[in-house]
């Protein structure tokens, strides 16, 4: 079948997508057993990604980035999903953390952090989720109390991507615990030689085993006031604004994963024999794959629309929520059906589709659970 060519894929974006696909296959997926055993991906992989220009693609060149549009970043994230990897935390690093700094940071903050992030020398994380606060960001309890020209930070974060490896983190804190959403601020915390900061467990997850998703603790950590992103109390608005882009990232990864799952399964059922025929020759198999391919294609088309809207600055929170909810739901459905068509081998982790099955489930939870996405959509009606 002819592949769908998204409208946002010009020659440059397409070339970057192909470069990224080769990188993920060669550097990440090929070494999956090693990464899973040590629960993190080696730093030299980040350096390689930086050298290839796969990090911070849409950050301005003056700050070390690629100088492209967000379409360039999305091409990398979509290629990651297609490769069958969701463990390398590039979407958080390049698609989220770098954009908080570029959007809200001072000139000094941009020049301090962005060039190192683009080269892979500085690894970024974002700290929103807490043991008692997930999709409800207003419920965070980590505090930052002003003490002269510093904030004193106390609290804990969990489910933090790149948590045990990060050199810096954009941290959501309560600078005024009595002010609700208006009491939230964002701080850049330098985690290198940071007194009072500790990494807890690297979490034992159902999937994404190579990702160093971690628990973090902050006890009387002193952070210069100059490390605050924007004005005090503006953090919740900053988080809400950037979540639109974050949800589009996840949708792009889901689209790539669906297409790869279908391709892998078509190849498998054509080679696998049962009762004297290939599995593909059975009508049920053919119809299942026809439905999965149709789902993947319609998701691609909707994603294409959302990306065009985003590149024009017109994608609203409701449509971003639709993309995140719908594509991750369909990702889980398509991958599950592809596992079924693999039979017993679909449950063996040596097969890519089995690992994709493990990795897909959390897509419906992070960046706002899909139930929350439906609430956002409903409020817009």
The two beta strands, 168-174 and 184-190, are antiparallel
Here the tokens at position 200 are 């807890």
Using CA atoms of 151, 213, 244, 117 in order, give the dihedral in degrees to the nearest 10.
70
* CA separation for the pair 253, 367 (Å, rounded): 13
The two beta strands, 214-224 and 273-274, are unpaired
Task: Look at the alpha carbons of 323, 328, 333, 335 in this order and tell me if their dihedral is positive or negative.
Answer: positive
**How many Cβ atoms are within 10 Å of 324's Cβ, its own excluded?**
30
Cβ proximity of 139 and 132 under 8 Å:
yes
Cβ proximity of 305 and 378 under 8 Å:
no
Gap between the terminal Cα atoms of the chain: 37
As annotated, the active-site residues are: 246
Burial profile 256-290: b = 16 or more Cβ within 10 angstroms, e = fewer: bbbbbbbbbbbebbeebeeeeeebbeeeebeebbe
The residue written with tokens 């002010």 in the block is 179
């Amino acid at each position: 079948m002819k592949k769908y060519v998204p409208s946002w894929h010009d020659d440059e974006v397409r070339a970057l997508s192909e470069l990224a696909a080769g990188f993920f296959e060669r550097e990440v997926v090929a070494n999956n057993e090693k990464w899973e055993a040590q629960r993190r991906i080696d730093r030299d992989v980040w350096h390689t990604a930086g050298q290839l220009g796969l990090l911070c693609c849409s950050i301005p060149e003056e700050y070390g980035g690629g100088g492209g549009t967000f379409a360039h970043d999305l091409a990398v994230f979509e290629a990651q999903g297609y490769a069958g990897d969701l463990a390398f935390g590039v979407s958080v690093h390049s698609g989220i953390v770098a954009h908080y700094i570029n959007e809200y940071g001072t000139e000094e903050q941009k020049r301090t952090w962005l060039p190192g992030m683009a080269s892979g020398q500085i690894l970024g994380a974002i700290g929103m989720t807490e043991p008692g606060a997930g999709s409800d960001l207003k419920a965070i309890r980590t505090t930052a109390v002003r003490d002269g020209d510093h904030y004193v930070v106390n609290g804990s974060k969990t489910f933090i991507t790149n948590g045990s490896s990060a050199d810096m983190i954009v941290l959501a804190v309560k600078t005024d615990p009595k002010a609700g959403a208006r009491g939230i601020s964002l701080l850049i915390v330098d985690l290198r030689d940071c007194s009072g900061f500790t990494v807890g467990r690297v979490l034992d997850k159902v999937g994404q085993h190579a990702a160093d998703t971690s628990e973090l603790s902050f006890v009387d950590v002193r952070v210069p006031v100059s490390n605050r992103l924007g004005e005090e109390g503006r953090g919740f608005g900053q988080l809400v604004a950037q979540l639109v882009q974050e949800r589009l990232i996840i949708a792009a990864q889901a689209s790539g994963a669906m297409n790869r799952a279908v391709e892998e399964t078509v190849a498998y059922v054509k080679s696998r024999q049962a009762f004297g025929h290939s599995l593909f020759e059975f009508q049920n198999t053919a119809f299942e794959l026809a439905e999965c391919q149709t789902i993947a294609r319609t998701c691609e088309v909707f994603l294409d629309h959302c990306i065009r809207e985003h590149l024009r600055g017109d994608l609203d929170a409701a449509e971003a929520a639709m993309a995140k909810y719908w594509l991750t739901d369909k990702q889980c459905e398509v991958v599950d059906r592809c596992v079924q068509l693999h039979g017993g081998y679909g449950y063996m982790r040596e097969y890519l589709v089995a690992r994709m099955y493990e990795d897909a489930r959390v897509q419906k939870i992070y960046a706002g659970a899909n139930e929350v996405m439906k609430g956002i959509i409903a409020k817009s009606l």
